[in-house]
Structure 1
Amino acid sequence: MIEESGRVVAVEPGAVWVETLRRSTCSACSANAGCGQGLMEKLGVGERRGYVRALSDRVLAVDDRVVIGIPEDLLVRSSLLVYLLPLLGLFAGALLAQWLALAESFVILAAMGGFASFWGLVRWRSRQGAEDPARQPVVVRAERASDLQTVEIR
């Protein structure tokens, strides 16, 4: 399970909207100290907030801290589908046009057509399964906001 922590910003029946902080992987890089991108991240320039809808059977409230997760195999299969299938379409279109001995401009157009058609197939497939609960992020752990102790600094 791939997990990400966040804060609940909205609650709906059977699900919550979670605000997460998107970070780059610069903090894990060995060249972090001498890199301009790493410095910008330390200064908070690259911080962006993302909003994710996660399924939950728990009673949660706004400002609760949660950890959401998705299965690793789902991420791998989705990545292969999104990245590999359009690329295969590009090669299939180009190879088909080459096999038919078409001019180079038609080979290029066939490659772009193969890419676009396979990309459309991926988009159609993703919309078909968008409401499938097995493909949705879920709340793995939660910590109620009322249970957290607030420390006031003066």
Structure 2
Amino acid sequence: MIEEPGRVIAIESGAVWVETQRSSTCSGCSARNGCGQGLMDRLGVRERRGLIRALSDLNLNVGDSVVVGIRESVLLRGAILVYLFPLIALFAAALIASELSATEPFVMLAGIAGFLVSWLIVRQRSQRTAGDPGLQPIVLRAMLVGTAGHSQAGLFSSRETDFEGSTE
């Protein structure tokens, strides 16, 4: 499960809207000096706050700190669908046009057409699965702020029960 801390900014029935603070991994990357992403981070161009709708069965209030999670498999499948599938469709359509001895402008148009068709497929699938609870982020637990100002996790858990120290 991939986890991200955040703060509840709105409440719906069965879900909450959580604002997260995106962190950059540029300090740990060896290519940080030649990377466009690192440059955008240094210039402050990129928006650093994210807004996530997460399913929750906890009794939360606006302003509560929470940990939101999503399964790795969901994230991996989404990344493949959004990034890899259109690229493969572009190359496949261009390769097929090339194998049919099409001229270069038609090969380029075929590649663009393959990309656009894959984009339509991704969009249609995303609209069809938008309401699937198995693909939604969930609130894993609420965070309590201790007296020293440090947050303590695990006091209130949702869907992920921790029985450490239980005498059953």
TM-score interval w.r.t. the shorter chain?
0.7 to 0.9
Aligned sequence identity (%): 56
Q: Distance in 2 between matches of 1:5 and 1:148?
A: 16
SS in structure 1 of the partner of residue 127 of structure 2: helix
Cα–Cα, structure 1 residues 44 and 103, in superposed 2: closer, same or farther, change >3 Å?
closer
Q: Distance in 1 between matches of 2:126 and 2:46?
A: 29
Structure 1 vs Structure 2 CA RMSD: 2.6
Q: TM-score, normalised by structure 1?
A: 0.82
Unmatched segments (≥5 aa) in structure 2: 150-168
Cα–Cα, structure 1 residues 30 and 100, in superposed 2: closer, same or farther, change >3 Å?
closer
Letter in 2 for 1:14: G
Q: Distance in 1 between matches of 2:111 and 2:79?
A: 21
Cα–Cα, structure 1 residues 12 and 149, in superposed 2: closer, same or farther, change >3 Å?
farther
Q: Which residue of 1 aligns with 2:52?
A: 52
SS in structure 2 of the partner of residue 67 of structure 1: strand
Displacement of 1:46 in angstroms is: 5.6
Aligned ranges for residues 109-148 of structure 1 at < 5 Å? 109-143=109-143, 148=146
Letter in 1 for 2:108: I
Aligned ranges for residues 72-91 of structure 1 at < 5 Å? 72-91=72-91
Counterpart contact for 1:23–1:47, Cα < 8 Å? no
**Is 2:17 the partner of 1:2?**
no
Displacement of 1:31 in angstroms is: 7.6
Unmatched segments (≥5 aa) in structure 1: none
Deviation >4 Å, runs of 4+: 43-47, 147-151
Q: Greater share of helix residues, 1 or 2?
A: 1
Q: Aligned residue pairs: how many?
A: 145
Counterpart contact for 1:23–1:46, Cα < 8 Å? no
Question: Which structure exhibits the higher relative contact order, with contacts defined as CA atoms closer than 8 Å and separated by 6 or more residues?
Answer: 1
